[in-house]
Amino acid sequence: MPTDPFVPSTPSGLSTPPPDPFGWIDEEARRRERSGLVRTLRPRSADSALLDLASNDYLGLTHHPVTTGAAAEAARRWGAGATGSRLVTGTTALHAELERELADFCGFEAALVLSSGYAANLAVLTALTGRGSLVVSDAANHASIVDGCRLSRAETVVVPHADPAAVDKTLEAHEGVRALAVSDSVFSVDGDAAPLARLAEVCRTRGAALVVDDAHGLGVLGDGGRGAVHAAGLAGDPGTVATVTLSKSLGSQGGAVLGPARVIDQLVNTARSFIFDTGLAPAAVGAALASLRLLRADPSLAVRARAVAHALHHGLTGAGLTAARPDAAVVSVRAPSPAAAVRWAADCRAAGLVVGCFRPPSVPDGISRLRLTARADLTDLQVQSALATIIATAPAGSAPAGSAPDGADGV
């Protein structure tokens, strides 16, 4: 009987199964399960009754009727998608309008909208560096910055967290090399702010550019929520570039780069994550533009988000829990172990509260924690309810012996 030419055979003619090209994935999955590090997708319903302290909707604008109405109108007018890359058919008049208003609000000469904040960081770090150049990166920077550094082909030196002296020393050791320093403005795990003014001074002295990811600063920090870069007096600085996301305080989707016009032109011509990516969908552009205008009209939104964060911190530390002081809208609460953090988050959810859960290897310091995000639309009663739930479900070892909850202050 002839053998099937498409089935590998042994010399004796017996068929043998081909090697499994993804067999290694099974062992990886078993390793993750043994370590308790399996990630799962958990679809949420549109009308969930859970109190949300896990999302990045800092100003509570995602469901604002003006924001959703603008998204719907943009989709009706411009279509469901951008139809192509920004350089072909993916730029609408709405994109240009958002770029003008973002640049004006944040105090920069020009802006460029991309499909995500992740793409914005990749664009900046690859278009402004290259072989023979230097990138100095904070050890706690976001994964998108880490990946941008890897793709840049520049020499990357990772320096200790929030340490301008280490940045200065590194730049001094590479004198004469085209260089930039890059840092988050507000770090997403603990919510602490970078020393931007001192970093800018170091970069200015050494002739290096400064790139700041202001994803967690826009809408929360600075005059009227103009961001951490604006608050540090660096808006419009000729040596400073900022990246932002439209998916946090602006309640939409997408990202943007803010900076000198010549930097934006460089990105348009050379940034692969801009050139070869489909433009941001008109609905997301319309929603972001509407939210930006809401923020501009009501600067108290930024003040409220910060006040809620401080109320959460005060209530948690008053109960004896270890919580990092928030510089923006992120409040980090230490857990005694990775397993305890997972159980704590699950117990909160069972009690009607959604919180973030960060643990190794996602956190570089190895400390497991709950991550809470303040929102400007939370009421005092909701803040008090959230505090009561977190404190009541805290695992053993989360607070010193003898500590007792003392409730939450109004905000």
pLDDT for res 32:
87
Beta strands in 150-302 (DSSP E): 155-159, 179-184, 209-213, 240-245, 255-259
Q: Which residues of the chain have pLDDT under 70?
A: 1-14, 364, 399-411
Contact 122, 310 (CB under 8 A): no
pLDDT for res 103:
98
- State how far the Cα of 372 lies from the Cα of 356, in Å rounded to an integer: 6
Rounded to two decimals, what is the model's pTM? 0.91
Residues 6+ apart with CB under 8 A from 161: 138, 139, 140, 187
pLDDT for res 401:
38
pLDDT for res 388:
98
pLDDT for res 363:
78
- State how far the Cα of 409 lies from the Cα of 373, in Å rounded to an integer: 17
Residue found under tokens 């010549």: 262
- State how far the Cα of 70 lies from the Cα of 289, in Å rounded to an integer: 8
- State how far the Cα of 396 lies from the Cα of 224, in Å rounded to an integer: 41
E strand or H helix at 331: strand 330-334
- State how far the Cα of 318 lies from the Cα of 320, in Å rounded to an integer: 5
pLDDT for res 403:
40
